[in-house]
Chain A
């Protein structure tokens, strides 16, 4: 079957892949490019473990037609840290023990980054809203919310890292 070439930026570097018709971005990231940080959780848009940023906006890779990413900038958890230095959100998630099995963590981090990039000092309700599309079955959400609030307070003034 004929494949379609798609070029896009992934975590700041150029990628070029050939996609099947109807192939979603999650499959392209994992099987095409080898970035396994975004996970398969439902393929329905209801769990959020495949959340990535596309041109800075949070989107569900499993419901994103790969071809629509042509020329756009995709960010995943692998691109969060600034070289060896962790992003403030990554540090905060560690400090607050905000992960147990870790399967939702990549999606949570990207949803949280989308929030902080637009609202550097969110309220607790803002944070709950920001991760409302991300299911976590282990932590009970409390440590994740606290980690995001903590990252926001620490980042306050400095330029958004990562």
Chain B
């Protein structure tokens, strides 16, 4: 059962709209209940061929030899597709927005880096014929030592999973082996905190498990173009990826989709389109490539595992004064989207709380498992689990009610967040208050009267003096190998115009950030030496490259 609490933020809304805010029936519902909604697979083609891939049984092995002679002669087989048939057999998904180096082959070349990695594909007149042919392929492997734990993968001497990133971590800004977040001085704050709580959290991978598995049907269309019926969650993303791998102008691909049987993030990686299109190119016939359920479960990209270490400094009165987070994203064998997810995680720390000293190091680590990708709540779900269990432990440690502990530390409009942008449009406090009320969870009047619009800003809007560092530098300052991953960092910040200068700061302990303290309110001491926040994000030398990465092909 669901109720709308219209009384909250009433003055910020005009509620008498005509269509927005109305419980209209979904445009697609009639099709759903009559069985007429058309998904990518609901298209008939005369002469349809079926594609199946041969997957590596090893987590890490060299490919010594591949013999497809028997498979090519198997009944019903029209084509065997090898790595050499792929025009551009190396890519990374986010090369389309110029982020990260090409590190993943469409079909394995010299090495397989995860159990299930595609080695070759068979296109046949039926799925049964394709499976029969696959059983006739002979491959000789030289198994290699594999690494499956993110922290083991970072130790010297660990097997190199992905040669594009020999240290087994994604390289950020061509400078560091992780993404940093620095705000204030956590070490000083830990020294002055009443309690320090340090914990470890682990989230295993999660499979998207949509009821419709990844799949596509590609077929020759008119004027040397190819129609591609696809289950993708990102039409032009997949089109651009396929165009790059197959080295064809983007307008020769005519993608049709938009109605997907559940995605949840598992249909962003173009798992089937490049091969189904290549199959159609090589056979001149329609080709259907659909992952079976076992493939989707084990070899279709899952949500990546995450390990978070969280260390907090908290005062007896409940104020959190320092939060240090070290996170390891398990990218699996290839980068795909994990590099972006790690940055999104860094941007999310320390959670919806105003904490004067925050430090985070977020690693994107390569291991010999199925490459991870985005999933519902990408980069946030895992760290939110860790942060909110940690908050429960802190509340328990200082003997405060968990709801009141959240309201005390909640961020409010005008507060400065750790990624140095002011908070606005906040509503955490109101959500806590309403949830408590609905669950008959008693909270004291003081906390019932607080809100997100008052008590923020002022001293809480200032950026404290910040300790930065150089650890995690790639190769001791040597610029990263290979093509550039990100354009160089922007020029140093332009200081705020004089008028916006906060009043002269006095030296104060880093952690005595003015707070909305528990009753009676402690006097609000001024913040430490502030660093000027940028008025607007500087673009400097950034040149927003074309989204299709056409510049790169």
Question: A residues bordering B, Cβ < 8 Å?
Answer: 20, 22, 30-31, 34, 36-44, 46-47, 49, 76-78, 80-81, 86, 89-90, 93-94, 97, 99, 101-106, 109, 135-138
- The complex places the Cα of A31 from the Cα of B288 at a distance, in Å, of 12
CA distance A86 to B292 in the complex (A): 33
Q: What separation, in Å, do the CA atoms of A76 and B33 have in the docked complex?
A: 12
The answer to whether B39 touches A103, judged by C-beta atoms less than 8 angstroms apart, is yes
Q: How far is the CB of A139 from chain B (nearest CB, A)?
A: 11
The 8 Å CB contact of A103, one of B34, B211, B294, is B211
**Contact: A41 with B213, CB < 8 Å?**
yes
Known contacts A36-B38, A39-B261, A42-B293, A109 near B33 by CB under 8 Å = yes
Supposing A41-B211, A43-B293, A102-B31 touch, asked if A137 and B36 sit within 8 A by C-beta, the answer is no
Q: A39-B212, A41-B213 are in contact. Are A101 and B38 (CB under 8 A)?
A: no
Cα distance A101–B31 when bound, in Å? 11
The 7 closest A-B pairs by CB, nearest first: A37-B35, A103-B261, A102-B32, A77-B35, A42-B293, A36-B42, A90-B33
Cβ A43 vs Cβ B33 within 8 A: no
Residues of the A chain whose Cβ atoms lie less than 8 Å from the Cβ of B30: 94
Residues of A within 8 A of B264 (CB): 137
B478 contacts the other chain (CB 8 A): no
Once the chains bind, are A31 and B44 in contact (CB under 8 Å)? Answer: yes
C-alpha gap A76/B36 in the complex (Å): 11
C-alpha spacing A120/B274, complex, angstroms = 49
Nearest CB of B to A129, in Å: 20
CB distance from B300 to the nearest CB of A (A): 13
In chain B, what residue has the closest Cβ to A35? B35
Interface footprint category on B: 20 to 34
Which A residues are in CB contact (< 8 Å) with B211? 39, 41, 47, 49, 101, 103-104, 135-137
Do the beta carbons of A102 and B34 come within 8 Å of each other? Answer: no
What does DSSP make chain A's interface, helix, strand, loop or mixed?
A: loop
Contact among A22, A41, A81, A97 with B29 in the assembled complex (CB-CB below 8 Å)? A97
A102 and B293 contact, CB distance less than 8 A: no
Q: What residues of chain B lie closer than 8 Å to A76, measured between beta carbons?
A: 35
Q: Kindly identify, within residues 310 to 348 of chain B, every residue whose CB is under 8 Å from any CB belonging to chain A.
A: none
A37, A41, A102, A138 pick with most chain B CB within 10 angstroms: A102
Q: How far is the CA of A35 from the CA of B2 in the complex (A)?
A: 38
CB nearest to A102 among chain B residues: B32
- Which residues of the other chain, B, contact A103 by a CB distance below 8 angstroms? 39, 210-212, 261-262
B260 interface residue per 8 A CB criterion: yes
A48 to B181, CA, bound (A): 47
CB<8 Å pairs between A and B, sample of 29: A20-B128, A31-B44, A31-B48, A36-B38, A36-B42, A37-B36, A39-B39, A39-B212, A40-B41, A40-B213, A40-B290, A42-B293, A77-B33, A78-B34, A78-B36, A86-B34, A93-B32, A101-B211, A101-B212, A101-B261, A101-B262, A102-B31, A103-B210, A103-B261, A105-B32, A105-B33, A109-B33, A137-B210, A138-B262
Residue of B nearest to A79 (CB): B35
Residues of A within 8 A of B261 (CB): 39, 101-103
B37 interfacial contact with A, CB 8 Å: yes
Q: Check B293 against A97 for contact (C-beta < 8 Å).
A: no
A-B contact sample (8 more), CB < 8 A, given A81-B34, A103-B210: A20-B128, A40-B213, A43-B293, A49-B211, A80-B35, A90-B34, A94-B29, A97-B26
